[in-house]
Amino acid sequence: MKIGFIGLGNMGLPMAANLVKAGHSVTGYDLNAAAMTALTQAGGQVAASAGEAVKGANVVITMLPAGEHVRQVYLNQGGLIDVTKGQKPLLIDCSTIDVDSARAVEAEARKAGLAMLDAPVSGGTAGAQNGTLTFMVGGSAEAFEAGKPVLEAMGKNIFHAGDAGAGQAVKICNNMMLAINMVGVAEGFILAQKLGLDWQKLHAICATATSNSWALSNYCPAPGTVATAPSARDYAPGFMAQLMLKDVKLSQAAAEATGSPTPLAAQAMSFYQAVCDAGDGAKDFSVVFRWLAGQGR
């Protein structure tokens, strides 16, 4: 396949590199020149603009920060829908964005005769590097079948969640649960320290006990417990706290619109907001542990 890939950040770059490894021809574009250099080092090609990158592509993939970037890249004059409507590639947005933006962009794509999937991911940067991401996909069954082989080069579990926007709906529920869970793990490890416990021992025990979770076993926020976790590298991302804050805000807006009770997510959101206000928005979201530890006596 000839693939145009827009957004080569913490996630997009390793995902694009896996497409290259699978034998696809990948042309990328990012506002950040260093990210483009990294793609060429991984065997891809780069272009001078998003429009150039998707020229002649069978598949277009975007991995951008938020809904406004996705709307801008697809819908603006000279945007991806405009540029590709003649060549009819399959459009796949892997960013985590609000359901309304996902549905609005898909509707514009459909009007232009283009099939589009919302295909946000779970699994973090390690999952992106190892090609083991989980994809939660919204869109028609036909578009899903067309996109699945490409997604399989980047992920291990590819789920069709439902119609347009359903992938994003699953993703914001997933991240709302993760945001709360990370705070829970942080509280447990802070209390453990106050009780004189060793973090490594606590980690080893809880990873086989009922408190276990992905946040605890793979991504533990207490330094010295998981060698590959951001906590082992001064919370370098990973998944930035400002992106987690964006996602919990999305879940809270959806909860408000649907009358869903989500008091723990509201509390967790205030913590991630405090982390960002303290200047740690570009750190991994597990830095909430350090912020919370700083609130104690």
Q: Which residues are catalytic?
A: 171
- Residue 91 contacts residue 60 (beta carbons within 8 Å): yes
- Residue 190 or residue 242: which is nearer to ligand NAD going by CB? 242
Does 35 bind ligand NAD (CB under 6 A)? Our answer is yes
In angstroms, what is the minimal distance from the CB of 296 to ligand NAD? 28
Query: Using CA atoms, how far apart are residues 225 and 218, in angstroms rounded to an integer?
Result: 9
* Token reading at 233: 């590298």
In angstroms, what is the minimal distance from the CB of 197 to ligand NAD? 29
Interactions with ligand NAD, residue window 217-246 (CB under 6 A): 238-239, 243
Q: List strand residue ranges (DSSP E) for the chain, in order.
A: 2-6, 25-29, 45-46, 59-62, 90-93, 116-118, 121-122, 133-138, 155-162
Q: Cα–Cα–Cα angle for 24, 28, 31, nearest 5°?
A: 165
Query: Using CA atoms, how far apart are residues 80 and 70, in angstroms rounded to an integer?
Result: 10
Does 73 bind ligand NAD (CB under 6 A)? Our answer is yes
Give me the DSSP letters along 180-235. Answer: HHHHHHHHHHHHHHHTT--HHHHHHHHTTSTT--HHHHTT-SSTTS-TTSGGGGTT
Name the one range near ligand NAD by CB under 6 A: 66-74, 141-149, 161-169, 211-219.
Answer: 66-74
Does 63 bind ligand NAD (CB under 6 A)? Our answer is yes
Does 11 bind ligand NAD (CB under 6 A)? Our answer is yes
In angstroms, what is the minimal distance from the CB of 230 to ligand NAD? 10
Residue from 4, 5, 12, 265 touching ligand NAD (CB under 6 A): that is: 12
- Residue 116 contacts residue 105 (beta carbons within 8 Å): yes
Interface mask toward ligand NAD for 119-138; x: CB under 6 A: --xx-xx-------------
- Residue 178 or residue 190: which is nearer to ligand NAD going by CB? 178
Does 30 bind ligand NAD (CB under 6 A)? Our answer is yes
Query: Using CA atoms, how far apart are residues 201 and 198, in angstroms rounded to an integer?
Result: 5
Judged by the rule CB under 6 A, the positions of this chain that interact with ligand NAD are: 6-12, 29-32, 35, 50, 63-65, 69, 72-73, 95-96, 121-122, 124-125, 238-239, 243
